[in-house]
Amino acid sequence: MSVSMPKEDLRTLNRRQSILSGLSAAVGSGTLISDEAGLRAFETDALTAYRIAPLAVVLPTSTSEVVSIAKFCAKNCVKLVARGAGTSLSGGAIPTGDAIVIGLSRMNRVLDVNIPDRTATVEAGITNLAISSAVAHARFFYAPDPSSQLACTIGGNIAMNSGGAHCLKYGVTTNNILKLKMVLMDGEVVELGGDFLDGQGYDFLGLATGSEGQFGIVTEATVRILSQPEGARPVLIGFDSAEAAGGCVAAIIADGLIPVALEFMDKPAIRICEEFAKAGYPLDVEAMLIVEVEGAPLEIEDQIGRIGEIASRFHPKTLRVSQSDAQSAAIWKGRKAAFGAVGRVADYLCMDGVIPLGKLAEVLKEVEAVGNRHGLRVANIFHAGDGNLHPMIMYNANDEHEKVIAEQCGSDILKLCVDAGGCLTGEHGVGIEKRELMRYQYSEADLLQQMRVKAAFDPLWLLNYGKVFPLDLQERFAAEARAHV
């Protein structure tokens, strides 16, 4: 396929045995994996088109072991890639052959729950959903809910600034993190943020959240937990056109309503999800919204009434208000099963761009045109409330030519988002997938300034090398830095 991977450092490869011996001592009570079969499990993430077995994998069990591993790698100038559950759709956790993968899955404990202050402190390897489970007894929850929340870890969420269906009301990861413990490449442990909503000084917490594992290795996080709402009810609304659905989304937001979720599905997505989940979705509409509101019973009724009135201006073909828990589950069933449903039909690339809400209808029409131009089907399922698009480009992974066409189609869609006044990513990150597109959104001066910030945390460019920035610029920065070692 079309994404180039960095050249491997032969000096590192030639020292493999001595590196493995040193790592064995550094990992302590953790685990070192160096056999071919074991490494294969870490050769890719959810961007499965690219696979490279790492030099080795280490599975630490504590921050102190992470410190020892980082110090060893820094001293020996060995690249290091932090990995959570490997659910990254942008290739953010794919290693290079001369890199060590540091997997944090064994660091999965809840360290503290503070109900009065509404916080929980957890290790980076805990799953997103497990945080909510740990505080459910007190009727609290952790708000960000990516589609992969059953598997994805808080460390990965922090790296990519993940969101989810409920991000419209509750925000994405950066809005729900208070403090991080992070190990820098030289082994120094820093704490960013604090046990309060807004700390003094530079916002290093905001800088680190979404940095894609390029600044340090997050080992612990203090997150906000919220009180569970009294209730929630979704509304399913079907329209004769994507333009009408997009107009309804913009009108809901303009009216001052903040639903807890506002999801969009186009006709191809509706059909695919209904065939799989049998959720009762209308098959005679061109686009569908799932709008969920929450609160006290009277508050919910008021919001649903306002949504119905707004939707009526766009002449919906279907408007179904949930009347029971079973009906709510059915409305969400197809949306929650979307990725598996599309996977039954074809291989796919799930893109991640952001656009202004006012451009929604216009951009959706252009996305369809881009797919037609490349001869590929595109299903659209996304968080409409904040303009975070997730076009799913369907193709045949066994056809090498079609793989390249699918990536070109994805690139054109992301350029379309930037041209509309949006950006390349909302929650998946840049990784390797969008690395070369960074020049489309940013000037050279912008990129160089961002890279200087990266270099301040990781002067030798050893952490998650090959991601985020155009490869030629990274190679230049890294060569200049390592020439002085």
Q: What string of pLDDT tens digits covers the 485 residues of the chain?
A: 578 899 999 999 999 999 999 999 899 888 999 999 999 999 999 999 899 999 999 999 999 999 999 999 999 999 999 999 999 999 999 999 999 999 999 999 999 999 999 999 999 999 999 999 999 999 999 999 888 888 899 999 999 999 888 888 999 999 999 999 999 999 999 999 988 777 778 899 999 999 999 999 999 999 999 999 999 999 999 999 988 998 999 899 889 999 999 999 999 999 999 999 999 999 999 999 999 999 999 999 999 999 999 999 999 999 999 999 999 999 999 998 888 899 899 999 999 999 998 888 889 889 999 999 999 999 998 888 888 999 999 999 899 999 999 999 999 999 999 999 999 999 999 999 999 999 999 999 999 999 999 999 999 999 999 999 999 999 999 888 877 76
Pairing of strands 99-103, 56-59: parallel
Reported pTM? 0.93
* Distance separating alpha carbons of residues 29 and 63, to the nearest angstrom: 12
> Are 83 and 101 contacting, i.e. CB atoms less than 8 angstroms apart?
yes
pLDDT for the residue 382: 87
Q: Which residues have a Cβ under 8 Å from the Cβ of 344 and sit 6 or more positions away?
A: 272, 276
Question: Using one digit for the tens of pLDDT, what is the confidence trace for 227-248?
Answer: 999 999 999 999 999 889 989 9
> pLDDT digit string (tens) for 21-31?
999 989 988 89
Crossing angle for the helix pair 16-26 and 63-75, to the nearest 10 degrees: 150
All residues at 6 or more sequence positions from 458 whose CB lies less than 8 Å from its CB, including other chains: 184, 185, 214, 215, 216
Is residue 155 within 8 A of residue 133, CB to CB? The reply is no
Q: What is the pLDDT of residue 1?
A: 54
CA 245 – CA 85 distance, rounded (Å)? 35
pLDDT value at residue 62: 96
